Structure 1
Amino acid sequence: MTIAKDKIVQLNYTLRDEQGEVLESNEGQTPIAYLHGHNNMMVGIEKALEGKAEGDSFSVTLPATETYGERLADSEQRVSVKHLQGAKVWKPGMVAVINTDQGQRQVTVVKVGKFMVTVDTNHPLAGRELTFDLTVAGVRDATEEELSHGHAHGDGGHHH
């Protein structure tokens, strides 16, 4: 079965920066799962996976516009320190998670005050050309429930 719209795709990945350094990987772990063609995955990754099949392994280098986006100027915001998740003590350069109307998002701490922090709302990897080593671990038809919910369920997907 090949990857196309309305298929559940399970994959393992290794993310590398411009120098080839590994930034993140789920190799040897449960594959992530997503519903293809429903804006649940980076545009460049979806395009690269289209038409691939279970067992396919390949690398793709993508521009920022197809992954985490370009860095936006003037993207700093002041937020209450109580909204930051991921540590008890914050220092500039640390990455935090905050909840937004669009779900959780990573931000980078720029300046720390007693009650407020200034964060850069650009994703920490925005503006960078990134290489993804991808292995398709599985492809299957989405269930009616997954299609109505707009995301994958089960191992590597959403649990509710």
Structure 2
Amino acid sequence: MKIAPQHVVSLTYDLYVDRENTGTEDLVESATQEQPLTFLFGAGQMLPKFEENLNTLSTGDSYEFRLSPEDAYGVYDEEAVANLPKEMFQGTEMPEIGSVLPLQDNQGHRFQAVVVSIAEDAVIVDLNHPMAGQALHFKGEIINVRPATDEELSHGHAHGPDGHHHH
């Protein structure tokens, strides 16, 4: 079956990113036959350019493509660094450099910030996506494509043995 909006797609992938200035690539993430990535196509859960590269494929097809930083998680923004007052961490342990903090902005969007340093009165965090500024190289295979159920369409994500579970 061919991939189309309102279909549930299961696929494997290996995601590689270029190691800085070395010309080699590191494998950073994988989805396997046993643990595929399953998502509702066209529902906005995936990077738009990721879906664009898949939209001509069918079950059993292999694929390989690259996304530029602009099409993936954005260019690295030097300005996207914030100082969090240390009072925010009262009653909890001070985060360590390199640790990831789950934060929420005033609109309720959740995002992750990486602690880059700790000053006298503040924790300095980098709000860039961990993969900002990186070109992504995807390789994989389409395992299954099926029409989404009405329930999946109303919920906006995949369900069932190869999808999202509600408990």
Instruction: Name the TM-score, length of structure 1 as normaliser.
Output: 0.83
SS of match in other structure, 2:25:
coil
User: Which deviates more from structure 2 when the two are superposed, residues 128-137 or residues 112-121?
Assistant: 112-121
In structure 1, what is the Cα distance between the partners aligned to 2:27 and 2:49? 19
1:70 is matched with 75
What's the CA shift for 1:66?
1.6
Structure 1 residue 14 displacement after superposition:
0.8
Aligned to 1:96: 100
The 2-side partners of 1:99 and 1:138 are apart by 35
- Confirm or deny that 1:141 pairs with 2:136: no
Please, what is the CA RMSD of the aligned residues?
2.4
Q: Which residue of 1 aligns with 2:4?
A: 4
Deviation track 1:51-81 (CA, whole Å, cap 9, x = no partner) reads 2111111211110122111222311223434
In 1, Cα distance between the equivalents of 2:141 and 2:112? Answer: 25
Please tell me whether Structure 1 or Structure 2 has the larger radius of gyration of its CA atoms: 2
* 1:10 to partner: Cα distance: 0.8
TM-score scaled by length of structure 2: 0.80
What does residue 112 of structure 1 align with? 118
1:26 pairs with 2:31:
yes
Q: Using the alignment, how far apart are the partners of 1:110 and 1:24 within structure 2?
A: 23
8 Å CA contact 1:108, 1:119 repeated in 2: yes
Written as runs of structure 1 = structure 2, the 5 A alignment for 1:115-126 is 117-126=123-132
Amino acid paired to 1:31: P
Amino acid at match of 2:60: G
Local SS of the residue matching 1:133: strand
Identity of aligned residues (%): 34
Structure 1 stretches of 4+ with a deviation exceeding 6 A read: none
Which residue type is aligned with residue 17 of structure 1? V
CA–CA distance in structure 2, aligned partners of residues 107 and 8 of structure 1: 31
State the shift of 1:153 in Å. 1.6
1:128 maps onto 2:154 in alignment: no
- Cα distance in structure 2, aligned partners of 1:81 and 1:25: 34
Which moves more between the two structures, 19-28 or 8-17? 19-28
Distance 1:40 1:110, change over 3 A: same
Q: Is the counterpart of residue 15 in structure 1 residue 19 in structure 2?
A: no
C-alpha contact 1:60 1:132 (8 A) present in aligned 2:
yes
> Mind listing any 5+ residue stretches in structure 2 that lack a counterpart?
19-23
The gaps in structure 1 that reach 5 residues or longer are none
SS at match of 1:2: coil
